[in-house]
Amino acid sequence: MSELSELIKINRNIERQNDEIIRLLKRIAGEENEGEMTISYVAPKQFTPPEMSFAFDDESEVGEVHFIEENNVFRLSIKNNETSINNLTGSRDACNFAEQELIANESIKLNRAIGPATVILNSEQSMNLPETLKVCYEIKAKRVFIPWFSMTQLIGAPETLMAVMKLDFYKNEEQLIEKVFNKGD
């Protein structure tokens, strides 16, 4: 009980200090009356994705994969054994695209495109999943492949998110290949 009493005492001291700080701030601001204090809440600035000049409108080609890195949309293409990466919405270069290159190579090997409006994310690209999914929504992605460990970032996400896009979670590269190309179905 002595710990609880100590915490209550500390809390009361903090309350008194806060009241004194508020009183002094009012004096500095020129508010002489000590009437009721109004507290206004300013919501943190919400992320607004940049105006996207790219939106999915047709099927992807064999050897082509889309991904998002730091709110930029990229298209990785492999043609004649040459990998090219185009930033479709900005000017920065992609840094981490090993999984996307793996999927593009598998697409060529199977001679199958990955499907319309599909985005593949790796673990680094899904570190800030809410922002990345906003970009996916902006470009009208229909299906997004996300590493399994990122699922916890969706706790509390609106249910409509799942209705707008199909989110597929994968545990490793092998499972990613299976899911993308519907192997085993």
Answer whether residue 44 shows pLDDT above 60. Answer: no
Q: For 4-18, 41-55, 64-78, 91-105, which range has the lowest pLDDT when averaged over its residues?
A: 41-55
Task: Name the pTM for this structure.
Answer: 0.69
Answer whether residue 62 shows pLDDT above 60. Answer: yes
> Do 85 and 74 contact (CB within 8 A), yes or no?
yes
- Report how far residue 53's alpha carbon sits from residue 33's, in angstroms, rounded to the nearest whole number: 54
> Do 118 and 143 contact (CB within 8 A), yes or no?
yes
CATH topology (fold) of 64-180: Ribosomal Protein S5; domain 2 (3.30.230)
Answer whether residue 42 shows pLDDT above 60. Answer: no
At 38, is the pLDDT very low, low, confident or very high (cuts 50, 70, 90)? very low
> Do 178 and 145 contact (CB within 8 A), yes or no?
no
Phi, psi of 84 (to 5 degrees): -125, 145
For residue 4, which amino acid is it? L
Q: For 8-12, 51-55, 79-83, 105-109, which range has the lowest pLDDT when averaged over its residues?
A: 51-55
- What's the pLDDT score for residue 40? 43
Average pLDDT, the chain: 82
Strands (E), the chain: 64-69, 72-79, 82-87, 118-120, 143-147, 166-170
- What's the pLDDT score for residue 112? 95
> Do 85 and 97 contact (CB within 8 A), yes or no?
yes
At 159, is the pLDDT very low, low, confident or very high (cuts 50, 70, 90)? confident
Between residues 32 and 149, which one has the greater pLDDT?
149
Q: Delimit the domains of the chain by residue range.
A: 1-40, 64-180
- What's the pLDDT score for residue 126? 92
